[in-house]
Amino acid sequence: MSRNPANREQFRPEGHEHDHFLLTTVVGSYPKPKWLNRARDLFEDEDHDFGEAEWTEATDDACRVITHEHERAGLDTVVDGEMRREEMVEFFAERIDGYEFNGPVKVWGHNYFDKPSVVEDVEYDEPWLVDEFEFAADVASRPVKVPITGPYTLANWAFNESYEDDEALAYDLADLVNEEIEKLVEAGARYIQIDEPALATTPDDHAIVGECLERIVADIPDEVRIGLHVCYGDYSRVYPEINDYPIDEFDVELCNDDYEQIETFADGEFAPDLALGVVDAHVAEVESVEEIKENILQGLKVVPPEKLTVSPDCGLKLLPREAAYGKMENLVQAAREVEQELDEGTIDVPAIGDAAPADD
């Protein structure tokens, strides 16, 4: 049950030189400039006089730099690289009444996550992202996409000390996300991405995510594009159920396993648009334009060109910044070359539904 995939056409750049249009974007996070990390160290140092005003100036400058960097790479829709965010759950938990923090929890190796606790019913107070969006939209000359951590992940990746179960918590959080999106839409946002990495690790809860999405999109205009990003996992455990999700676009991470799972979706019945990762977010090597073009063809096994979005596999924040930019630049160049070859009829487009059947 896709909402209105035709709303992608609003992101076609004015004067686009090809008849075909592959929407190019990024998932969200991007490497922070080294000077911003240094500024954070100073800001968090109680013995230093680097204060709130200086920190705000630093983050504003970083948002300008990265937004312009995305535009320089040629992306059709841009993000500020989440320069104001450190971690995808902590950022929102700090802004939602009902959460509290009790210190970091070891998650793997030497990595720690400041896992929050839900100690009372969650409530919406001040907007979470409106200022962030308005700043980026004012800086950008291209449409700005807004990534939001989804309610299922916000519930699943926290200690639940208040609700009967995580399902009830997720539904309350979904109502809050809906309220935030309404405010973003009022501010001019037209492209919202819901990030649900937790679904990849607990796919049996796909029905809960579906109900969360129903609540999220309630009364959101059809011209607002709603995407769902799910990190790498066994997608066969959520497909074809995702066809019933009220989304315009399903964003998958398949480049890092060389598209072994693409046949999962290539039955000719895939309902939403496909946002396909065509560069690997986990390796610093920059894929060539020709390699990326071959990856784009994988997406055309699932959807026709007018339903294909081209993006990195996931957020790029762990890569060297030079590598992240090189991947984006080559991604855009590859998409434009594929568009031209589609216009000319010289590209060998796989027949949708002819891929090998997925393993049971």
- Distance between CA atoms of 170 and 301, rounded to whole angstroms? 34
User: Are the CB atoms for 187 and 134 separated by under 8 Å?
Assistant: yes
The pLDDT score that the predictor gives to residue 111 is 65
The pLDDT score that the predictor gives to residue 301 is 94
C-alpha count within 13 angstroms, C-beta hemisphere, residue 11: 29
The pLDDT score that the predictor gives to residue 358 is 44
pTM: 0.93
284-301: b (≥16 Cβ within 10 Å) or e? eebbebebbbebbbbbbb
pLDDT in tens, 151-169: 999 999 999 999 999 999 9
Q: How far is CA 259 from CA 232, 266, 358, in A?
A: 11, 12, 12
The pLDDT score that the predictor gives to residue 109 is 56
Q: Is 279 helix (H, G, I), strand (E, B) or coil?
A: strand
Please list, in sequence order, all residues whose beta carbon lies within 8 angstroms of the beta carbon of residue 236, skipping any fewer than 6 positions away. Answer: 261, 264, 358, 359
CA neighbor of 192 nearest in space, from 125, 251, 271: 251
Report, in this order, helix, strand and coil percent for the chain, each rounded to 5. Answer: 40, 15, 40
Average pLDDT for runs of 10 along the chain of length 360: 80 96 97 91 79 88 97 97 92 95 68 85 96 97 97 95 95 98 98 96 93 97 96 94 96 94 94 97 97 97 96 96 98 98 89 56
pLDDT in tens, 250-276: 999 999 899 999 999 999 999 999 999
Please list, in sequence order, all residues whose beta carbon lies within 8 angstroms of the beta carbon of residue 164, skipping any fewer than 6 positions away. Answer: none
229 burial (CB, 10 Å; 0-12 / 13-18 / 19+) is buried
The pLDDT score that the predictor gives to residue 335 is 98
DSSP string, 104-150: -EEEETTEEE--EEEEEEEE--S-SSHHHHHHHHHH-SS-B-EEEE-
- Distance between CA atoms of 17 and 85, rounded to whole angstroms? 36
The pLDDT score that the predictor gives to residue 108 is 59
C-alpha count within 13 angstroms, C-beta hemisphere, residue 62: 25
The pLDDT score that the predictor gives to residue 44 is 78
